Amino acid sequence: MSSMKVTKIELHSNGIVELMKSQEVIACLQGYANDVASRSGGEVQNAYIGKTRANVSVMADNTDNALLKSL
């Protein structure tokens, strides 16, 4: 049995928060939201930067779990 070296990664929390609030992350989330909305027959409601991260909402008629099935 070979021994594996354990690598420890320490994240700089301010940098992660900055990344999660970036325009690039919002653009990525909007792309995913558009895909989900088109598959579910719904629409993207809004995209905003919250306290700790970017958020995007998709709304659809939920009578047949369309959003869940589109994921």
Q: Mind listing the pLDDT tens digit for each residue in 1-58?
A: 567 789 888 777 888 889 999 999 999 999 999 999 999 889 999 999 998 899 999 9
What was the pLDDT predicted at 30? 95
Residue 35: the pLDDT is 94
> What whole-number distance in Å separates Cα of residue 60 and Cα of residue 67?
7
Q: Per-residue pLDDT for 65 more than 70?
A: yes
Q: How far is CA 16 from CA 20, 45, 66, in A?
A: 6, 26, 32
Burial class (CB in 10 A: 0-12, 13-18, 19+), 37: buried
